[in-house]
Structure 1
Amino acid sequence: MAKTNPITFIQQVRAEVSKVVWPTRREVLLTTVMVFIMAALTAAFFSLVDILIRSGLQGVLALFG
């Protein structure tokens, strides 16, 4: 593995960092809102599935229990 001069390394790091495209405030806000919406929808879906499975099991246990 070749060793690099520290000055060259810092120059390379600065060149790579300058290529980074940072998101705008609006993009960050929209992405955050979408994450919260998807989390709420997922929670509602799994709550509904849980209620359906629970009531189904209670019905089966009431018949055979």
Structure 2
Amino acid sequence: MADEKANKTSPAEFFRQVQGEARKVVWPSWEETVRTAIFVFIMMLILTLFFLGIDSLFSTVVRTLLTIA
């Protein structure tokens, strides 16, 4: 219990620490942001087509099994 009280900081000290950490943030350049967005879009398209194919395959298999039964 005594350790918890010793580790507590005041709200003002907390905000000073937050500001200090925020100054350390390195934001990506516009070029990096655009490149990353394009990469995410391409990966999204690839995964969409992959899961569409898997879903279509499973749908066909289930439909075939249901017609046999």
Following superposition, the deviation at residue 15 of structure 1 comes to 3.4
Residue 37 of structure 2 corresponds to 32
With normalisation by structure 2, the TM-score equals: 0.69
With normalisation by structure 1, the TM-score equals: 0.73
- The structure that is helix-richer by fraction is 2
Residue 48 of structure 1 corresponds to 53
* Percent of paired sites with the same residue: 32
RMSD between superposed Cα atoms in Å: 2.1
Return 5+ residue gaps in structure 1 as ranges.
none
Count how many residue pairs are aligned between Structure 1 and Structure 2: 63
Return 5+ residue gaps in structure 2 as ranges.
none
